[in-house]
């Protein structure tokens, strides 16, 4: 945890990995820095980036003394620069969304932790892939939006894409080490994507009109940012993860089965043609997939305790109820609706979740809003980032207009 030890070199003479953490002040960002701090000989923090929480980023700059810190919000960046000057820290502060792209493409950078939430993370995450970096991908929205574009960039630019999402990291660990994107060749029959079911797995459906943002964010097993917590409550998170799995592992939608497993001990499974099922298990703690990806292909300490099977005793499984979780069906349909489908799904969801968190949309109206946006968005092919971002803007505006046209109260049930 000692800041000065960050610049130490490993005794073996191997080079220290220079890391950029995008979304450093968030839940995944903080867990990443927790793992990084355990391995000062392996990792050095080259840059930290966040949106607007100046105090949190300043504290991280004190501890890790990065070469650069960037804030998307320009006012916050100016304030951070002032405080960094006052304290005499060696960090240069950059401002604005463009600075994130600039940072991740710098030649000194080896690895980029993509842990910004939502579409804002797409430009720098894609830029990191296009610059051939090792991309540790937590920001699933970026992959869902850019899909093929992203995967093609990884392939053609020699980047390495390692999933941080616990399910996809578990799938990667359960696939053969030489998996080359062809499930059939590896003898894989299907992928079993586990889901906790979130906080409303047993809530009477009639009550879903009145649930509050704090209730939706009280996840039974994971402590996460508010957006992904709401996505877990609607199961749109699992819908986005179905799309993510199809893209990462070159699977068809019908090869990815969602299995509700309320304990969140099994993080996902791969079934082979001989009937074998391989799974990855562990405490629901993001430091495990983060350490797996940071150290890959070596295993490194994460600070996560051993799993105690005598305490766990039972593991349960059930099929998702499509009436309770319509977002799952919407995501599967969007995946089949060309490149524009996932972009529209994600943009409508981001607007709906933001409105729900502000108390402007009832929880049970989130799926209906997304479905209406999908119906109104024609299927189109998207060939580059500007087209993706343009459609994202149009869909956000449509979703906002639909919400204000209905001017729904957060407590309205219809």
Among 16, 45, 117, 369, binds ligand NAD (CB under 6 A): 117
- 169 three-state secondary structure: helix
Interface with ligand NAD in residues 58-77 (CB under 6 A): 72
Q: Is 244 in the site for ligand NAD (CB under 6 A)?
A: no
Closest to Mg ion by CB, 99 or 258: 258
Q: Is 285 in the site for Mg ion (CB under 5 A)?
A: no
Q: Is 221 in the site for ligand NAD (CB under 6 A)?
A: no
Binding mask 280-319 for ligand NAD (x = CB under 6 A): ------x---------------------------------
Closest CB 308 distance from Mg ion, rounded Å: 23
Backbone angles phi, psi at 272, to 5 degrees: -105, 165
320: tokens are: 């998702």
β-bridge mates for residue 20, sequence order: 47, 112
286: tokens are: 């993001």
Options 113-121, 183-191, 200-208, 246-254: segment touching ligand NAD (CB under 6 A): 113-121
Cα-based distances in Å from 4 to 7, 117, 157: 6, 30, 34
| 320 CB neighbour count, 10 Å cutoff | 18
Closest CB 165 distance from Mg ion, rounded Å: 4
311: tokens are: 């305490």
Give the total residue count for the chain.
414
Closest CB 49 distance from ligand NAD, rounded Å: 6
Closest CB 115 distance from ligand NAD, rounded Å: 5
Residue nearest to ligand NAD (CB): 26
Interface with Mg ion in residues 146-185 (CB under 5 A): 165, 167
Q: Is 27 in the site for ligand NAD (CB under 6 A)?
A: yes
- 191 three-state secondary structure: strand
Q: How far apart are CA 205 and CA 195, in angstroms?
A: 19
Interface with ligand NAD in residues 6-25 (CB under 6 A): 23-25
Q: Is 132 in the site for ligand NAD (CB under 6 A)?
A: no
Q: How far apart are CA 68 and CA 35, in angstroms?
A: 20
Among 96, 132, 220, 225, binds ligand NAD (CB under 6 A): 225
- Using an 8 Å Cβ cutoff, are 70 and 78 in contact? no
Interface with ligand NAD in residues 145-184 (CB under 6 A): 165
Closest to ligand NAD by CB, 12 or 305: 305
- Using an 8 Å Cβ cutoff, are 335 and 253 in contact? yes
- Using an 8 Å Cβ cutoff, are 129 and 155 in contact? no
Count of residues of this chain found to bind Mg ion when the rule CB under 5 A is applied = 2
Closest CA to 136 of 248, 263, 236: 248
Options 114-122, 199-207, 356-364, 404-412: segment touching ligand NAD (CB under 6 A): 114-122
Among 6, 18, 20, 26, binds ligand NAD (CB under 6 A): 26
Instruction: Give the 3-state secondary structure percentages of the chain, helix then strand then coil, rounded to 5.
Output: 50, 15, 35
- 214 three-state secondary structure: helix
346: tokens are: 């994600």
β-bridge mates for residue 70, sequence order: 49, 94
Locate the DSSP E strands across 232-282: 256-260, 266-272, 277-281
Closest CB 222 distance from ligand NAD, rounded Å: 5
Closest CB 197 distance from ligand NAD, rounded Å: 16
Closest to ligand NAD by CB, 23 or 342: 23
First to last CA, the chain: 51
Residue nearest to Mg ion (CB): 165
Residue numbers at the binding site for Mg ion (CB under 5 A): 165, 167
Residue numbers at the binding site for ligand NAD (CB under 6 A): 23-29, 50-51, 53, 72, 115-117, 120, 138-141, 165, 222, 224-225, 228, 286
């Amino acid at each position: 945890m000692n800041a000065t030890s960050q610049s130490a070199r490993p005794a073996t003479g191997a080079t220290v990995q220079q890391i950029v953490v995008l979304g450093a002040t968030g839940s995944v960002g903080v867990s990443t820095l927790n793992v990084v701090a355990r391995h000062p000989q392996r990792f050095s923090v080259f840059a930290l980036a966040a949106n607007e929480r100046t105090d949190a980023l300043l504290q991280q700059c004190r501890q890790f003394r990065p070469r650069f810190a960037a804030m998307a919000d320009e006012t916050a960046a100016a304030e951070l620069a002032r405080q960094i000057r006052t304290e005499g820290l060696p960090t240069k502060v950059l401002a604005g969304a463009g600075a994130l792209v600039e940072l991740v493409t710098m030649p000194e950078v080896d690895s980029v932790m993509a842990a910004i939430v939502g579409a804002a993370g797409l430009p720098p995450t894609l830029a990191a892939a296009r610059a051939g970096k090792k991309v540790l991908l937590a920001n699933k929205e970026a992959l869902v939006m850019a899909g093929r574009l992203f995967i093609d960039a990884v392939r053609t630019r020699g980047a390495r894409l390692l999933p941080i999402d616990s399910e996809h990291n578990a799938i990667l660990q359960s696939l053969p080490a030489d998996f080359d994107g062809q499930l059939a060749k590896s003898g894989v029959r299907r992928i079993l994507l586990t889901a906790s079911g979130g906080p409303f797995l047993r809530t009477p459906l009639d009550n879903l009109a009145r649930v509050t943002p704090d209730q939706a964010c009280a996840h039974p097993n994971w402590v996460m940012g508010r957006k992904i917590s709401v996505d877990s409550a609607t199961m749109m998170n699992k819908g986005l993860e179905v799309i993510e799995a199809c893209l990462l592992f070159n699977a068809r939608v019908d090869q990815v089965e969602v299995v509700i497993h309320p304990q969140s001990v099994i993080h996902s499974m791969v079934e082979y043609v001989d009937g074998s099922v391989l799974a990855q298990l562990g405490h629901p703690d993001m430091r495990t997939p983060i350490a797996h990806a940071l150290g890959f292909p070596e295993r490194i300490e994460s600070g996560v305790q051993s799993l105690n099977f005598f305490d766990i005793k039972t593991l349960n499984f059930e099929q998702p109820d499509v009436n309770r979780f319509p977002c799952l069906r919407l995501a599967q349909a969007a995946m089949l609706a060309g490149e524009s489908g996932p972009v529209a799904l994600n943009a409508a969801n981001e607007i709906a979740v933001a409105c729900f968190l502000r108390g402007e949309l009832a929880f049970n109206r989130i799926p209906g809003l997304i479905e209406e946006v999908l119906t109104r968005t024609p299927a189109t092919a998207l060939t580059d980032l500007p087209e993706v971002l343009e459609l994202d803007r149009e869909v956000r505006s449509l979703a906002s207009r639909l919400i204000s046209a209905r001017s729904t109260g957060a407590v309205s049930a219809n």
